[in-house]
């Protein structure tokens, strides 16, 4: 079957799969502890897609054009034996990029080596500050900073280099960490990426005043460490790349709010429960688990996905500024970042 295009002629090239809706952190911008407390109902195990189901659906997606795959969550390393899933996915010949996004809390040396040996190509580790006190309040569970810094080293030592370090910037909360983070990761071989704080989900109390536009962020860095723009690695690349003029490496900025990139968005997402979302900001999705569990053939699954993709009209970020109200959306911990 040919690769489908959506209503804006965008192909289907990338897939993000959330392997669990659970997390060991409670970052206020994602899973605030007031809303994700002890009484919160996470998905029962039987509702999660099994490794076999994830593998099968991924092969169907590759037959429709997907070449890049990222596992995420919730916290993906909470899913037991994740390396086994990675090994299964790494065998799919059409996948030329297999990556993982994690908060790093469970990324010991041994885990990093297992993931690498299983075939993981790249890893992104989230870290929003180098101030232990701020970090402990930003992860909501007082998790110590030192351990995440160690995880970054473990990933590097295991050969998952260059490790990408994702920093969500929230004005007034951690924007004072921009320069210390830049200073720390310059010359380290690790690529720091700044993400504009987004209005994902309905529970993080987002407002535009909390967004630090990337233009301002780049100015702050440029004043201390001159930078220059780099061309993108490939069409549809989400991060805009910059390099330090003195040769100390590169950084990236993800301008989802101030300069949306919906035009080139070729990404689909599957939630932990097996629902396909064609936009991070989707208010609804398409159930894949039911057909997977009721003996649909690969061809039937292909037809379903292809049909949904062809109807896709998503360009939430591009429209955001024109909208008076922000509709209800799926939580990011559920759909995967």
Which residues sit at the interface with ligand SAM, rule CB under 6 A? 23, 29-30, 72-73, 75, 101-103, 126, 166, 168, 195, 197-198, 200, 204, 332-333, 337
User: How far apart, in whole angstroms, are the C-alpha atoms of residue 50 and residue 140?
Assistant: 29
**Contacted entry of ligand SF4, ligand SAM, none for residue 98, CB cut-off 5 to 8 Å set by kind:** none
Burial category of 179 from C-beta neighbours within 10 Å (exposed 0-12, middle 13-18, buried 19 and up): middle
Q: Which residue is nearest to ligand SAM (CB)?
A: 337
Contact 132, 145 (CB under 8 A): yes
Q: How far apart are the first and last CA of the chain?
A: 29
**Contacted entry of ligand SF4, ligand SAM, none for residue 279, CB cut-off 5 to 8 Å set by kind:** ligand SF4
Contact 122, 99 (CB under 8 A): yes
Sites for ligand SF4 among residues 258-297 (CB under 6 A): 260-262, 265, 267, 279-281
Q: DSSP assignment of 43-69, as one string?
A: PPGGGSPPHHHHHHHHHHHHHTT--EE
User: How far apart, in whole angstroms, are the C-alpha atoms of residue 70 and residue 93?
Assistant: 15
Stretch touching ligand SF4 by CB under 6 A, among 22-30, 39-47, 114-122, 205-213: 22-30
- Binding residue for ligand SF4 (CB under 6 A) from 65, 73, 201, 274? 73
3-state secondary structure at position 247: coil
- Name 43's Cβ contacts closer than 8 Å, sequence gap at least 6: 20, 21, 272, 273
- Least Å distance, CB 247 to ligand SAM, is 27
For residue 192, list its beta bridge partners: 165, 251
User: Which residue lies nearer to ligand SF4 by CB, 29 or 242?
Assistant: 29
User: How far apart, in whole angstroms, are the C-alpha atoms of residue 266 and residue 6?
Assistant: 9
Q: Binding of ligand SF4 at residue 30 (CB under 6 A)?
A: yes
Q: Binding of ligand SF4 at residue 196 (CB under 6 A)?
A: no
**Contacted entry of ligand SF4, ligand SAM, none for residue 261, CB cut-off 5 to 8 Å set by kind:** ligand SF4
Q: Binding of ligand SF4 at residue 151 (CB under 6 A)?
A: no
Binding map of ligand SF4 across residues 296-335, x = CB under 6 A, - = no contact: ------------------xxxx---------------x--
**Contacted entry of ligand SAM, ligand SF4, none for residue 198, CB cut-off 5 to 8 Å set by kind:** ligand SAM
Q: Binding of ligand SF4 at residue 185 (CB under 6 A)?
A: no
User: How far apart, in whole angstroms, are the C-alpha atoms of residue 291 and residue 39?
Assistant: 31
């Amino acid at each position: 079957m040919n690769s489908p295009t959506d209503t804006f002629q965008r192909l289907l090239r990338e897939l993000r799969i959330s392997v669990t809706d659970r997390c060991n952190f409670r970052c206020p911008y994602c899973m605030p502890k007031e809303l994700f407390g002890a009484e919160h109902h996470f998905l029962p195990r039987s509702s999660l897609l099994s490794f076999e189901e994830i593998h099968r659906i991924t092969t169907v997606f590759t037959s429709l054009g997907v070449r890049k795959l990222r596992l995420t969550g919730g916290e993906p390393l909470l899913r037991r034996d994740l390396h086994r899933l990675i090994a299964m996915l790494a065998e799919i010949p059409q996948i030329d990029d297999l990556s993982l996004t994690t908060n790093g809390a469970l990324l010991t040396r041994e885990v990093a080596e297992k993931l690498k040996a299983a075939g993981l190509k790249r890893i992104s580790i989230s870290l929003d500050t180098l101030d232990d006190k701020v970090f402990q309040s930003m992860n909501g569970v007082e998790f110590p900073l030192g351990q995440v810094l160690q995880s970054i080293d473990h990933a590097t030592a295991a050969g998952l280099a260059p490790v990408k370090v994702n920093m969500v910037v929230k004005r007034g909360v951690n924007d004072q960490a921009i320069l210390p983070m830049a200073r720390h990761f310059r010359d380290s071989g690790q690529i720091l990426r700044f993400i504009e704080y987004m209005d994902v989900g309905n529970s993080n109390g987002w407002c535009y005043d909390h967004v630090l536009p990337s233009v301002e962020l780049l100015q702050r860095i440029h004043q201390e460490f001159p930078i220059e723009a780099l061309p993108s690695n490939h069409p549809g690349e989400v991060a805009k790349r910059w390099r330090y003029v003195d040769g100390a490496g590169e950084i990236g900025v993800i301008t989802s709010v101030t300069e949306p990139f919906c035009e080139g968005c070729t990404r689909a997402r599957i939630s932990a429960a097996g629902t396909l979302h064609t936009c991070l900001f989707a208010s609804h999705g398409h159930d894949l688990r039911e057909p997977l569990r009721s003996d649909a053939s690969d061809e039937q699954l292909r037809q379903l996905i292809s049909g949904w993709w062809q109807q896709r009209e998503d360009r939430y970020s591009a429209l955001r500024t024109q909208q008076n109200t922000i509709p209800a959306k799926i939580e990011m911990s559920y759909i995967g970042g």
